[in-house]
């Protein structure tokens, strides 16, 4: 079957329109003031938990205010282990409230909805929602950013994830008062289109090489959540052993798994390029295949001139295409990952 027959392929290839939609939604929204909050917590499940990791890191980097990311299930079942329970808003109203940013493609994942409801009721917190559908979670949000252009038929998130990620980046830039970053983000869609057309053949070649049987995705700082998401795509679509790590963590044990069947994919930064490239070079010397993505001097070079903090979405399309083509090469259906449904709804 030609790739166009798969919804996943069409969604990956058309995603930059959804990025544009995300920018328009966030630019037009009335957003809260960052200084009103004692802490900001990002939450979601699966892909949207990984998005939360990426967003919390960026929020903290841009605003200097503490932010964390927690899986919605942990916020629901073990809140004392993931947030400062003792610092909940006191009945006297003498401390600042928290802001929960709840992220979900569907807006109907039970853990995320319940965590949002509980957090709002028990902690008198505000809830800001990032989603692709105007459903349960959007109704719960004090502010809801609904990126309808990211909606999709597929189970594995590609266009949806990227659209919500762009929205989260723009949200962080706005709360940090960084108009310059928001303006720079307008160049993302055109750069994304160029990357997709320029590097699709490369993604196909790496994805289709079935002599590789394990993938490691390395990303540090604001890129770690993206490395997690790329690893999830590889698992969901291709049933291949895959793991994410922070770059320098990879030397502390995981590299024992590197051999000629391993692919080590690096989401390199500009700020720590030499430290990160050194890890890839060592893995290459150990026999692994390495793939580098970076602004310049990499197998996939963005050449975007967009500031590092808001260009993260550019890592996604090529890695999504890599998983898509591997899925086809393994005789799988990328639109229907094994054992998965698009939404997890629980009776709890």
Residues that bind ligand F1P (CB under 6 A): 44-48, 104-106, 109, 112, 155-157, 340, 342-344
Comparing CB distances to ligand F1P, the nearer of 199 and 215 is: 215
Tell me the three-class secondary structure of 133-149, residue by residue. CCCHHHHHCCEEEECHH
Q: Which residue is nearest to ligand F1P (CB)?
A: 46
Q: How far is the CB of 40 from ligand F1P (least distance, A)?
A: 19
Least distance from ligand F1P to the Cβ atom of residue 190, Å? 27
Smallest gap from Cβ 218 to ligand F1P, in A, equals 21
Both tokens of 212, joined, read 């590789």
Tell the smallest beta-carbon distance from residue 38 to ligand F1P (Å): 26
For helices 159-175 and 316-329, angle between their N-to-C axes, nearest 10 degrees: 160
Q: How far is the CB of 157 from ligand F1P (least distance, A)?
A: 5
Nearest residue (CB) to ligand F1P, 200 versus 236: 236
Separation CA 137–CA 116 (nearest Å): 8
Q: Which is nearer to ligand F1P, 44 or 266 (CB)?
A: 44
157 vs 242, which CB is nearer to ligand F1P?
157
Instruction: Please choose, from the candidates 284, 267, 185, the residue with its C-alpha nearest in 3D space to the C-alpha of residue 230.
Output: 267
Q: How far is CA 97 from CA 68, 80, 93, in A?
A: 15, 17, 9
Cβ proximity to ligand F1P: between 45 and 175 the closer is 45
The DSSP 8-state label assigned to residue 64 in this structure reads: -
**Cβ closer to ligand F1P: 129 or 255?**
129
Query: Can you list the alpha helix ranges (DSSP code H) found in the chain?
Result: 7-13, 15-28, 47-63, 72-77, 79-82, 110-123, 136-140, 159-175, 179-185, 188-208, 224-238, 273-285, 316-329
Minimal distance in Å, beta carbon 119 to ligand F1P? Answer: 16
Q: Are 258 and 287 in contact (CB under 8 A)?
A: yes
Burial class of 65 by CB neighbour count within 10 A (0 to 12, 13 to 18, 19+): middle
Nearer to ligand F1P, 46 or 189 (CB): 46
Rg (CA), the chain: 20
> What would the two tokens of residue 213 be?
């049987």
Q: Any residues with CB less than 8 A from the CB of 88 and at least 6 apart, and which? A: 98, 122, 123, 124
- Smallest separation, CB 175 to ligand F1P (Å): 22
CB of 226 to ligand F1P, least distance (A): 14
16 versus 48: smaller Cβ distance to ligand F1P = 48
């Amino acid at each position: 079957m030609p790739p166009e027959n798969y919804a996943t392929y069409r969604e990956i290839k058309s995603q930059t329109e959804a990025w544009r939609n995300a920018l328009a939604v966030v630019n037009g929204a009335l957003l809260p003031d960052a200084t009103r909050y004692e802490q900001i917590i990002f939450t979601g499940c699966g892909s949207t938990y990984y998005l939360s990791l990426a967003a919390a890191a960026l929020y903290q980097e841009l605003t200097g205010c503490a932010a964390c990311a927690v899986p919605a299930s942990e916020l629901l079942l073990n809140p004392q282990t993931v947030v400062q329970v003792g610092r909940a808003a006191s009945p006297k109203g003498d401390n600042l409230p928290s802001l929960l940013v709840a992220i979900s493609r569907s807006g109907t994942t039970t853990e995320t909805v319940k965590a949002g409801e509980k957090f709002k009721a028990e902690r008198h917190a505000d809830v800001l929602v990032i989603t692709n559908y105007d459903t349960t979670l959007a109704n719960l949000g004090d502010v809801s950013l609904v990126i309808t252009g990211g909606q999709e038929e597929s189970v594995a998130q590609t266009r949806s994830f990227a659209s919500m990620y762009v929205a989260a980046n723009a949200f962080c830039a706005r709360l940090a008062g960084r108009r310059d970053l928001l303006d720079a983000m307008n160049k993302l869609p055109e750069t994304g289109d160029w990357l997709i057309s320029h590097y699709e053949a490369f993604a196909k070649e790496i994805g289709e090489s079935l002599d590789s049987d394990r993938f490691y995705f390395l990303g540090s700082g604001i890129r770690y959540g993206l490395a997690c998401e790329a690893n999830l795509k590889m698992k969901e679509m291709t049933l291949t052993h895959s793991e994410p790590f922070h770059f320098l963590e990879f030397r502390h044990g995981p590299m024992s798994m590197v051999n000629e069947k391993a692919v080590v994919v690096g989401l390199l930064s500009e700020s720590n390029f030499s430290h990160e490239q050194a890890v890839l070079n060592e893995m290459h010397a150990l026999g692994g295949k390495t793939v580098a993505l970076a602004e310049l001097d990499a197998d996939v070079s963005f050449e975007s001139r967009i500031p590092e903090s808001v260009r993260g979405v550019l890592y996604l399309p090529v890695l999504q295409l890599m998983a898509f083509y591997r899925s086809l090469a393994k005789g799988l259906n990328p639109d229907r990952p094994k054992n998965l449904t698009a939404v997890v709804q629980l009776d709890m």
